[in-house]
Amino acid sequence: MFDYSARPDLLKDRVILVTGAGRGIGAAAAKTYAAHGATVLLLGKTEANLTQVYDEIEAAGHPQPAVIPFNLETALPHQYDELAAMIETEFGHLDGLLHNASIIGPRTPIEQLSGENFMRVMQVNVNAMFMLTSTLLPLLKLSQDASVVFTSSSVGRKGRAYWGAYGVSKFATEGLMQTLADEVETVAPVRSNSINPGATRTSMRAQAYPGENPLNNPTPEEIMPVYLYLMGPDSTGINGQAFNAQ
């Protein structure tokens, strides 16, 4: 496991947007960031899940989060602009962006992968991620120390059979991370890195490996050290790097 111990006020006064914040790793990251002082913007498509995370953060006495229902699969360019405008009006800037939302799509040979399924995975995992990054970058540049964290995968670092759409989308994720990192290196107080969570006890993992005993994998909460490290000031100057949570 990534070895890092965060001080309690690590993210005090920071505004951090988490995609796919309603469950799994996204929910764990949102609650962890809030517990360390951040105002967390909970973005996801299922409002009921986001509201549950909101309620848990509120009940714990952490800074009041914000719920942002947003469907990455169907969102149009003007909706991204409206999202950015809302964040600027309400919060003034953005200190962190965790790209966590992804879908797996069918795990099947490329020959049997329909174009429709391929494009759906790319729409959520790549196109929406690009739109959010480019639209929110001006708000991140207003921060004194901003961090963009991309969620990768082992199949996005070395190709593996039957992971077609998802694997390709994660290679694209690494590419976007590296491109952004190189662009902001000397011109903006923004850093860009990726995390491969590894096998984690989530519903997405269960979907991909239905025969696996989930108890053999760590919980999302257990892999949070690297998520805290990259979102806080201790990782200032770390840019363009691919991390493993485990």
Catalytic residues: 166
Coil, strand or helix at 59: helix
Helix (H), strand (E) counts: the chain: 8, 7
Mutual angle of helices 115-122 and 164-184, in 10-degree steps: 30
- Neighbouring residues of 59: CB distance < 8 A, sequence distance ≥ 6: none
Rounded Cα distance, 33 and 12, in Å: 9
130/109 Cα distance (integer angstroms): 26
Query: Around 195, how many Cα atoms within 13 Å sit in the side-chain half-sphere?
Result: 30
For residue 43 the two structure tokens come to 């973005």
Question: Which tokens is 71 given?
Answer: 């469907």
What is the 8-class DSSP label of residue 102? -
Do the strands 15-19 and 39-44 form a parallel or antiparallel pair, or are they unpaired?
Answer: parallel
